[in-house]
Each structure stands twice: as structure tokens, then as C-alpha cells.
């Protein structure tokens, strides 16, 4: 078996008593766009800083093309990085900023000129060589930073929330640019963000971080369709959770009993749970159907409609289960129930068996 | 935000502070401490120097002069600086830039050159006396140098920038919308000035006033050239005791009193204004 | 409406008037000396009955003036270099350092600025009497450095504080060694602060009167000391000529400082 392009091997980092990351284990292929997604303080940035060499891990190893890089100082790692804050050198022109990595590598003048031109062209800033950073917008500055990080063809490009200082419209524009540049150059990218939409838009795979650990790694559709934990289900897409008791556990499938006696049988289950333990049923509002007839056992529940809000291309329905928990349902425009559903209706929610997940609760 | 400046990579940085630290210890802390200690050891150990300083009319007169002139200078500069700083804050910026250039020019012009100008302007046959006589305010030239009038005029001239600049900073930060709101609430210009603008500018006035007062207390050059020996101030007393009389005990005691008053007023300033900023 | 110049009505003229009077009050004495330095009245009559360059002639004919100016310049340049170098190191420690008592140290570094110069002068004079440094170049440099350093530290640490250390990290990831990053990125980026500190330090040393009076000896004195001793004797127009040259230097340095600021905001 060939070794992966980049192997983050069991990284653990503690600051005094605080554990910033724990057992972070990840293999990243060459040319892959991998995103670290998670809330602030989840350890995604710490992992990135360890890769950059700004911090040393307490335990674990980082291997690039099979070789550990932990003993290599930051400036010799040859890694590219775009920072959250604007980090263009304020006293140098755009051209000189992009040339900087080549100059410190003592590259010949002709090569520098050619590579700078190519890098600026890649980020669509042709002819900006003589501009000073202070006279550029935030979006332009980050594109120059991207050119500067790519000009020396690094084996890995780190991006630490590079768009968080920009407004939404500009962010989407540059996300598109980053995707195009990734496809064009084939560079391996590690991207840190707390924005799930950004992660889904950009990445080949996403590693979801929570409390210093990776909860799940997968493509966007994988994470959406089969979240491994409550946290992942909650972080990616919308979700509703119904709390009940495990009546039976068998072969990764569970039977749930709710407080009013309602029973749902044969739901796919994640995590370890014993009979009698607490568990949650997770449903996606857009994957639930509303109907006046009861569905197949294990994939249907009776509810009472409490509120209906028209939102344009869909309607948000708030319903309540027999035991009093709220459940949100999204009906697309044109759904047969859309016109008729109203407050107080006693109806049934139905779903496809593979859309329901049970997570055990500690 | 995590800082990348981990101790392991950049060092704690204390070493970089060493040259400055050693320089100040050797040539600032130790000499000043030495001077102050001589106030209680020379000519004999005891507090007699302080008793002399605070017990004789001659020396109390010097303290009185010092506080009187500093107080007057502070009051006059504050009265001039408030309208000037206010005007600067709202003027078209091109005009304000010219005024600022003048303020900075005067601030950075050699102190002796400025004092010299006032010595010439204020002398018996000087321009000020001649103008006052020409417009009929006085019949005879009046004595304007070698007394506290001259010192006060010269000091106001020197201290004005130190009052205007901080006050300008405070007034410039006031949101014009607050005063528009005051006007819409029905306040006349006078009421808005008294009840809104002045209270908002007070921290700046107080901070500038404390600074000017403290600087005036320890000023030497201008009082010495414009005041003459008959109207001595505290800094002149220190120099006189040390340089002419070689009385290091008395000089040290006077320096200690000046130091304590200065530091106490600075502490007050920090207490008043740092606390508010927080 | 008090913060809107156009809506002030009559107050606008009162405020402008006070402002103009104040500007004249600050400016006229300086122009007055310049005029006197070219006037031919030994008794400083104004307006002068005629114009002459004779005071400048006297100034340049007297080797003691030239000697004093040369000494002043020599001391000011040495103080400038040392003040920027030591100030830069101290600022790096204050802004980037990670040790306890950093704020206390900052306060301590600024105390020479707060204390009356006369106290520092008398104290140093006493210490230098023992060390034999009075009347020496070293003594002058040390004394001037003590009062110039706080300004240097304020200016340089101000520039360093607005410089995001992430930029240095970016340089390191680009392949620059930590020292290379400092010299090729951090120092050039705060160069406006270094230049301002240099100009401030030079001017403080060049203009220092009180310390210089105490440090001076009959054989070694700076320009302000020469002006001071001359002034105590009589109000000769030669001082007006010397003062005019000092004003000219101030204007040149102020324009230089303004250009640096402008260059920074470019």
C-alpha cells in the first residue's frame, strides 16, 4: 500500500490542563480538497497551526509524502498558507509580495518574473504588480495572499478561514475562485472553516471537528445522509431530534419507545446503547412527508399541526407529537398538502426508513 | 485568537528589554535615588532640610510662586484651548491643517529661541509695551519681564500646544449626532454647549490641565529667563541650591517635594482617566 | 449643531476669530525673531530701521558658535542612533514579549518623560561628578539618551502594535527564516515608526537645554548652552540669527516627518 500524501497521525495537543486536540487521525490524498469544519475551539485551527509548525504537538506525528515534518522549522516546510487576517507585507507592492517566497529561495530573476505573472494571472489579478496592498479591497488582498502561497508550488496549501472577514456576496465569489484554482492547479488544500455551507461548496471531503476530536470524515452527501453522531447531524443541514427509550437493540437497529407509548421499530442506530437507555431519533425537516394516512410501521408517527408559515418555495410546518415534542417539517411548493394543511389538523408524518437515525444519549 | 508567538519560538523577550533597563537603572534610578537620599543625610542625618524648606517664609514664597504661576498658566491655556480645539475639530480640514502646522512648529521650535522672543517682546522698550502705549492703554512702559507676569505669558505660550492637542483628540471623537439630538430636543446653542458639549469635553480638559500643571511645576528655563532671581520657582531653587550654594541636602529635599507632587498628580491622572477608559 | 461648522451661525465667526488669534499668538514671536535677525538695530528695535546680514556674519565668524553647533550635531546623531536601536529592542520586548510585569516595565520606561528634567539633570550631575563624566561627550550622550528614549519607545511600539504578527508568520511560511522575516518584513513595515523615532530623538537631543547646562564644561558645550550663556549676558541680535537657523532646521525636520507620514498612508 502506498503511503498517503499527508498523514496526520494521532495528533494530541494540550495547553496546561486544556486539551486542544486529541487523537486527530486523518489521511489526505494528493490533490484532495479537505475541509476542517467545526465551531470555534473545536481544535481545527490548532491542528492547522501544528501543520504549519507554529505549534508543536504534545503527541503524534505529521507525515508529508511518508516523511515526518515535525522536526522541520516552519520556514523549511515549504507549506503554503492563507491566513484569516490580511497578511500582505504592507511595505511591498503586490508583485513583490508574490515574489517574496521566491526571493528568499534565491530564485533567478527571470524565473521570479515569470512565476509572479503566472500566479497573479491564476487569481485573476493580471497587471496588479505595482499596486500597494493598502489600496486594495479585502477580497483582492486575499487573492494576492493566495497567489503568494501558491507561487512556489507547495505540496500542501493551508487556508485558515480566509474569507471570514469578507461580506457574504464577496465570499461566494471567492469560494468559486478557490474551487476553480483548486481544479486548475491540483494543489492539495486543507481548509478551515466554521461555515457548513462553505465547507459543502468547496470540499472533496470534510472532517467535522468537535471538542478537539474528529467526529466524522466524509464527503458532503455522506455526512448529510448518514451522520455518525448527534453533533454531525446537528452541524450539517437542519435536523429535528425526538427523545425516547431504547426498547430493543439488535444488529445495529433499534426499537424506540416514546413516553406516550408510541413505538418505532427497526430504525438504523449509531453508537452503543443498551436496552432501557435513552436515545434520540433524528429526522431532516425536508425529508419528512406529511400525509392524512398512516405510513409503514417504524417510519411514521401521528402528529398535530400547530403552525404553518409560507416561505416562498416551501412552507414550514410546526407539528407536535403525541407526547408533546415539536417537529419541524418542510413542504416544497406544489406538495398536495400545502394548500390544505392548517392549524389543529391531526395528520401523520412519514419518512423513508434510511432517512431516520438513532443516536444514543449519554 | 491564538497567538503564534509561543515562548519556545520567540523567547520571552525580556532579554531585548535589557539595554534600556540597565541604562535607566544606572543613569536614572540610581542617580535620582542618590539625590533624594542626600536630602536626609546632608549636612547631617535628619529631616532638618525639610523643616527649613517648609518652615521659612522665603521658601514658602517659592512654593507659592510655583503653584500660583502653574495654576494661572493652566487656567489661561484651558480657556484658550477649549474654543481652539473645538474649532479645529469642526473646521474644514484644510484650514485646520494650517493651524496644526503652526501649533507643531511652535511646539518644536527651540525652547530658548521662543523664550528669547518673549524676552525681547516684553522688555521695557519692547513691542508689547509700545503697542500698549500706542493704543492708549498705558502711559508709561510697564515692567513685564523679571516678574511673574513675564513668566506666565512665556509659559502660556509654551504650554498651549500641550492643552490643545489632547483636548482636540477628545472633542474630535464626540459624535456630531449627539449634538444634533440635543438641538432636536429643544436645546439652544448655549444650553447644548453647557449641558452637552462641555461635559463631554471635560475629561479632555481635565487631562490636559493636569498635564500642563505638572509640567509647569517643574519648569526651569522660562521662569529662569523671564522671572529673574527675585521671583524664583521650585526648579530654580533646586538648581540654585546645587549649583551656586553646593547645598545638596536642600537641593535634594526640594527635588523630593517636586517629585512627590509630580508623581501624585500623575497617579491621580491615571486613576481618573484610565478608569474611565476601561 | 455645535459640531457642524456651517450651522454655527455667528458662533462660527467667534470660534474662527479665537482660533486665528491663537495661531497668530503662536506664530508671530517666531516670525518676529526671524525679522530681528535681519534687522540692523543692535537694540532690537521693531520694525528695524534697515536690513542687514551682519548678525549672521558675527555668528559664523565666532568659532565658539560653530564649535557648539558641531558638538550639538555630533551628540544628537549618536543619541538618535542609540535611541532608535535601544528603543526598538525595548519595544519588541514590550509588544511581543511574554513575561510577567510587562505593563510595569512599560510604565517604568516612560518615567523619564514624566519627571521634571531638572531633577534628572541635578541627579545625573551629582552622579557624573563621581564618575568624571561631566563635560564629556559620553556624559552628554547618556543624559540626552535618558530623555529621548521614552519618545522612541512610544513611537516604535506604537508602530509595532499596528503591525499584525501574523504577517511575520506568513513570511516564515513563505520560506523566510525568523531573522530574515524580521529584517525583510517587520523592520521595513515599521520603518515610518523608526524614522519618526529618529527625528524625535534627534530634535530632543538637539534642543535639550536643562541637562546640557549641567553637562557642559567651558570646553565642551552644545548650541543651546551657548545660547543660554549668551542670553544671560545680553539680548544680542546674534541670538536671533542663531534662533532663526534653529527654526529653519525645525521646519526642515517637520517637513521630513510629514513626508514620512504621508509616505506611510500612501
Each residue of C40-85: pLDDT tens digit? Answer: 888 888 788 889 999 999 999 999 999 999 999 999 999 999 999 9
The verdict on C173 touching A (C-beta cutoff 8 Å) is yes
Q: Identify the residue among A44, A55, A58, A71 best suited for mutation to test binding to B, counting B beta carbons within 10 A and taking the highest.
A: A55
pLDDT given at position B9:
45
Taking CB atoms and an 8 Å limit, are C19 and B193 in contact across chains?
A: no
Taking CB atoms and an 8 Å limit, are C178 and A75 in contact across chains?
A: yes
Quick one: which H or E segment has residue A243?
strand A240-250
How distant is the Cα of C92 from the closest Cα of chain A, in angstroms?
Answer: 18
The three three-digit cell numbers of residue C148, written as one number = 529621548
Contacts of C137 (CB under 8 A, 6+ apart): C71, C74, C75, C78, C220
How distant is the Cα of C94 from the closest Cα of chain A, in angstroms?
Answer: 21
The three three-digit cell numbers of residue A74, written as one number = 516552519
Residue B2 belongs to some domain of the structure = no
Question: Do C156 and C211 have their domain in common?
Answer: yes
The verdict on B189 touching C (C-beta cutoff 8 Å) is yes
Residue B179 belongs to some domain of the structure = yes
Assess whether pLDDT exceeds 80 at residue B2: no
The 10s digit of each residue's pLDDT in B150-209 is 999 999 999 999 999 989 999 999 888 888 888 888 788 888 888 888 888 988 899 899
Residue B34 belongs to some domain of the structure = no
The three three-digit cell numbers of residue A84, written as one number = 484569516
The 10s digit of each residue's pLDDT in C209-230 is 999 999 999 899 999 999 999 9
The 10s digit of each residue's pLDDT in A232-249 is 999 998 888 998 888 888
Show the domain range for C1. 1-52
**What distance lies between CA C256 and its chain's CA centroid?**
13
d(CA C41, CA C45): 6
Residue C57 belongs to some domain of the structure = no
Taking CB atoms and an 8 Å limit, are B4 and A54 in contact across chains?
A: yes
The 10s digit of each residue's pLDDT in B171-180 is 999 888 888 8
What is the number of structural domains in chain B? 1
Residue C258 belongs to some domain of the structure = yes
Chain A neighbours (≥3 Cβ pairs under 8 A) are: B, C
Tell me which fold the domain A238-360 belongs to. OB fold (Dihydrolipoamide Acetyltransferase, E2P) (2.40.50)
Taking CB atoms and an 8 Å limit, are A49 and B4 in contact across chains?
A: yes
d(CA C173, CA A154): 10
What is the number of structural domains in chain C? 2
d(CA B270, CA B251): 28
How many CB atoms within 10 Å of residue B229? 9
For the domain spanning A6-233, the CATH number is 3.40.50.300
Q: Which residues of B touch A45 (CB under 8 A)?
A: 2
Report CA-CA distances (Å) from C116 to B159, B243, C120, C123.
14, 17, 7, 11
Question: Do C218 and C119 have their domain in common?
Answer: yes
Average pLDDT score, chain B: 88
**What distance lies between CA B169 and its chain's CA centroid?**
18
The three three-digit cell numbers of residue A257, written as one number = 419507545
- Residue C258, phi then psi, degrees to nearest 5: -65, -40
CATH code of residue B115: 1.10.3720.10
Taking CB atoms and an 8 Å limit, are C15 and B86 in contact across chains?
A: yes
Contacts of A103 (CB under 8 A, 6+ apart): A112
Q: Which residues of C touch B174 (CB under 8 A)?
A: 3
How distant is the Cα of C15 from the closest Cα of chain A, in angstroms?
Answer: 37
The stretch A223-228 carries a mean pLDDT of: 90
pLDDT given at position B15:
86
The three three-digit cell numbers of residue A308, written as one number = 404553518
Report CA-CA distances (Å) from A166 to A140, A161, A169, A194.
11, 10, 8, 14
Q: Which residues of A touch B3 (CB under 8 A)?
A: none
pLDDT given at position B1:
31
The verdict on C49 touching A (C-beta cutoff 8 Å) is no
Residue B178 belongs to some domain of the structure = yes
Quick one: which H or E segment has residue A16?
none
Q: Please provide the DSSP assignment of C44-95 as one string.
A: --SS-SSB-SHHHHHHHH-HHHHHHHHHHHHHHHHHHHHHHHHHHHHHHHHH
Work out how many CB contacts closer than 8 A connect B with C: 274
CATH code of residue C151: 1.10.3720.10
Q: Which residues of C touch A52 (CB under 8 A)?
A: 169, 173
Taking CB atoms and an 8 Å limit, are C167 and A88 in contact across chains?
A: yes
d(CA B112, CA C208): 10
d(CA A295, CA A300): 5
Fill in the DSSP letter of residue A273.
Answer: -
Radius of gyration (C-alpha) of chain B in whole angstroms = 23
Question: Do C9 and C31 have their domain in common?
Answer: yes
Residue C230 belongs to some domain of the structure = yes
End-to-end CA gap in chain A: 38
Fill in the DSSP letter of residue B243.
Answer: I
Q: Which residues of A touch C176 (CB under 8 A)?
A: 75, 100, 104
Taking CB atoms and an 8 Å limit, are C177 and A152 in contact across chains?
A: no
Plot region of A15 (φ>0 → left; ψ -120 to 50 → alpha; else → beta): beta
Give the number of C-alpha atoms closer than 13 A to the C-alpha of residue A213, restricted to the C-beta side: 6
Asked if residue B244 has a cis previous peptide bond (ω within 30° of 0), the answer is: no
Question: Do C143 and C205 have their domain in common?
Answer: yes
Show the domain range for B92. 63-277
pLDDT > 90: what percent of chain A? 54
For residue B220, give the nearest of C23, C118, C123 by CB distance: C118
Taking CB atoms and an 8 Å limit, are A54 and B6 in contact across chains?
A: yes
CB A149 within 8 A of CB A185: no
The 10s digit of each residue's pLDDT in B104-141 is 999 988 899 999 999 999 998 888 998 999 998 888 99
Contacts of C196 (CB under 8 A, 6+ apart): C155, C159, C257, C260, C261
Taking CB atoms and an 8 Å limit, are C166 and A87 in contact across chains?
A: yes
Domain ranges of chain A: 6-233, 238-360
Chain C neighbours (≥3 Cβ pairs under 8 A) are: A, B
The verdict on C120 touching B (C-beta cutoff 8 Å) is yes
Amino acid at each position: 500500500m502506498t503511503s498517503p500524501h499527508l498523514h496526520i497521525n494521532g495528533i494530541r495537543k494540550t495547553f496546561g490542563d486544556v486539551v486542544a486536540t486529541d487523537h486527530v487521525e486523518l489521511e489526505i490524498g494528493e490533490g484532495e480538497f479537505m475541509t476542517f469544519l467545526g465551531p470555534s475551539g473545536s481544535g481545527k485551527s490548532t491542528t492547522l497551526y501544528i501543520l504549519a509548525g507554529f505549534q508543536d504537538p504534545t503527541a503524534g506525528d505529521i507525515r508529508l509524502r511518508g516523511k515526518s515534518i515535525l522536526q522541520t522549522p516552519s520556514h523549511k516546510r515549504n507549506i503554503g498558507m492563507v491566513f484569516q487576517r490580511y497578511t500582505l507585507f504592507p511595505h511591498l507592492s503586490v508583485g513583490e509580495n508574490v515574489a517574496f517566497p521566491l526571493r528568499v529561495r534565491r530564485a533567478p530573476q527571470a524565473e521570479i518574473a515569470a512565476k509572479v505573472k503566472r500566479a497573479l494571472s491564476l487569481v485573476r489579478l493580471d497587471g496588479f504588480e505595482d499596486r500597494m496592498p493598502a489600496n486594495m479591497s479585502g477580497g483582492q488582498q486575499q487573492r494576492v495572499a493566495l497567489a503568494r502561497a501558491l507561487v512556489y508550488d507547495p505540496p500542501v496549501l493551508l487556508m485558515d478561514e480566509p474569507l471570514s472577514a469578507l461580506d457574504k456576496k464577496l465570499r461566494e465569489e471567492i469560494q468559486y475562485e478557490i474551487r476553480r484554482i483548486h481544479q486548475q492547479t491540483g494543489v492539495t488544500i486543507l481548509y478551515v472553516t466554521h461555515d457548513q455551507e462553505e465547507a459543502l461548496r468547496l470540499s472533496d471531503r470534510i472532517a467535522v471537528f468537535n471538542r478537539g476530536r474528529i467526529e466524522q470524515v466524509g464527503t458532503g452527501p455522506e455526512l448529510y445522509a448518514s451522520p455518525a453522531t448527534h453533533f454531525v447531524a446537528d452541524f450539517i443541514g437542519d435536523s429535528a431530534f425526538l427523545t425516547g427509550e431504547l426498547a430493543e437493540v439488535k444488529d445495529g437497529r433499534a426499537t424506540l419507545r416514546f413516553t406516550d407509548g408510541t413505538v418505532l421499530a427497526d430504525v438504523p442506530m449509531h453508537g452503543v446503547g443498551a436496552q432501557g437507555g435513552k436515545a434520540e431519533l433524528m429526522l431532516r425537516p425536508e425529508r419528512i412527508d406529511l400525509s392524512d394516512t398512516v405510513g409503514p410501521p417504524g417510519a411514521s408517527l401521528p402528529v398535530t399541526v400547530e403552525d404553518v408559515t409560507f416561505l416562498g418555495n416551501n412552507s414550514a410546518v410546526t407539528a407536535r407529537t403525541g407526547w408533546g415534542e415539536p417537529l419541524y417539517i418542510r413542504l416544497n411548493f406544489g406538495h398536495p398538502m400545502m394548500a390544505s394543511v392548517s392549524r389543529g389538523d391531526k395528520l401523520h408524518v412519514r419518512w423513508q426508513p434510511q432517512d431516520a437515525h438513532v443516536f444514543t444519549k449519554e | 485568537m491564538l497567538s503564534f508567538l509561543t515562548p519556545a519560538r520567540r523567547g520571552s523577550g525580556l532579554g531585548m528589554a535589557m539595554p534600556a533597563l540597565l541604562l535607566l537603572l544606572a543613569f536614572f534610578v540610581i542617580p535620582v535615588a542618590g539625590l533624594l537620599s542626600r536630602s536626609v543625610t546632608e549636612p547631617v542625618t535628619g529631616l532638618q532640610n525639610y523643616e527649613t524648606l517648609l518652615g521659612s517664609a522665603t521658601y514658602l514664597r517659592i512654593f507659592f510662586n510655583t503653584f500660583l504661576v502653574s495654576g494661572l498658566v493652566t487656567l489661561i491655556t484651558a480657556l484658550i484651548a477649549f474654543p481652539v480645539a473645538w474649532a479645529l475639530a469642526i473646521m474644514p480640514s484644510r484650514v485646520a491643517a494650517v493651524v496644526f502646522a503652526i501649533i507643531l512648529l511652535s511646539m518644536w521650535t527651540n525652547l530658548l529661541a521662543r523664550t528669547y522672543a518673549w524676552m525681547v517682546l516684553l522688555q521695557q522698550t519692547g513691542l508689547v509695551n509700545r503697542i500698549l502705549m500706542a493704543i492708549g492703554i498705558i502711559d508709561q512702559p510697564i515692567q513685564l519681564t523679571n516678574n511673574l507676569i513675564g513668566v506666565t505669558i512665556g509659559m502660556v505660550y509654551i504650554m498651549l500646544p500641550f492643552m490643545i492637542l489632547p483636548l482636540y483628540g477628545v472633542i474630535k471623537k464626540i459624535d456630531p449626532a449627539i449634538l444634533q439630538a440635543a438641538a432636536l430636543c429643544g436645546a439652544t446653542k448655549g444650553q447644548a454647549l453647557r449641558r452637552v458639549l462641555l461635559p463631554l469635553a471635560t475629561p479632555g480638559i481635565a487631562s490636559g490641565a493636569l498635564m500642563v500643571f505638572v509640567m509647569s511645576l517643574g519648569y526651569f528655563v522660562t521662569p529662569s529667563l523671564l522671572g529673574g532671581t527675585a521671583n524664583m520657582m521650585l526648579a530654580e531653587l533646586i538648581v540654585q541650591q546645587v549649583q551656586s550654594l553646593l547645598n545638596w541636602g536642600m537641593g535634594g529635599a526640594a527635588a523630593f517635594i517636586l517629585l512627590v507632587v509630580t508623581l501624585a498628580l500623575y497617579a491621580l491622572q491615571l486613576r481618573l482617566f484610565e478608569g474611565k477608559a476601561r | 449643531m455645535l459640531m457642524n461648522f456651517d450651522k454655527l451661525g455667528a458662533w462660527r465667526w467667534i470660534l474662527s476669530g479665537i482660533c486665528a488669534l491663537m495661531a497668530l499668538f503662536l506664530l508671530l514671536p517666531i516670525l518676529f525673531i526671524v525679522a530681528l535677525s535681519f534687522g540692523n538695530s543692535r537694540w532690537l528695535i521693531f520694525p528695524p530701521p534697515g536690513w542687514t546680514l551682519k548678525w549672521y556674519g558675527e555668528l559664523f565668524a565666532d568659532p565658539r558658535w560653530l564649535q557648539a553647533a558641531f558638538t550639538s550635531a555630533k551628540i544628537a546623531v549618536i543619541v538618535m542612533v542609540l535611541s532608535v536601536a535601544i528603543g526598538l529592542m525595548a519595544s519588541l520586548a514590550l509588544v511581543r514579549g511574554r513575561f510577567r510585569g510587562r505593563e510595569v516595565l512599560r510604565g517604568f520606561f516612560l518615567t523619564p518623560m514624566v519627571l521634571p528634567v531638572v531633577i534628572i539633570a541635578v541627579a545625573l550631575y551629582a552622579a557624573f561628578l563621581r564618575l568624571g563624566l561631566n563635560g564629556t561627550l559620553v556624559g552628554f550622550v547618556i543624559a540626552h539618551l535618558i530623555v529621548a528614549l521614552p519618545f522612541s519607545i512610544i513611537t516604535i511600539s506604537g508602530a509595532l502594535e499596528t503591525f499584525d504578527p501574523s504577517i511575520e508568520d506568513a513570511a516564515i511560511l513563505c520560506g523566510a527564516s525568523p531573522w530574515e522575516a524580521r529584517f525583510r518584513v517587520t523592520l521595513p513595515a515599521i520603518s515610518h515608526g523608526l524614522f519618526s523615532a529618529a527625528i524625535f530623538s534627534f530634535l530632543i537631543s538637539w534642543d535639550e537645554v536643562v541637562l546640557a547646562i549641567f553637562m557642559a564644561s567651558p570646553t565642551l558645550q552644545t548650541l543651546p548652552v551657548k545660547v543660554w550663556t549668551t542670553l544671560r549676558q545680553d539680548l544680542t541680535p546674534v541670538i536671533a540669527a542663531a534662533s532663526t537657523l534653529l527654526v529653519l532646521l525645525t521646519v526642515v525636520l517637520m517637513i521630513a516627518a510629514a513626508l514620512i507620514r504621508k509616505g506611510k498612508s500612501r
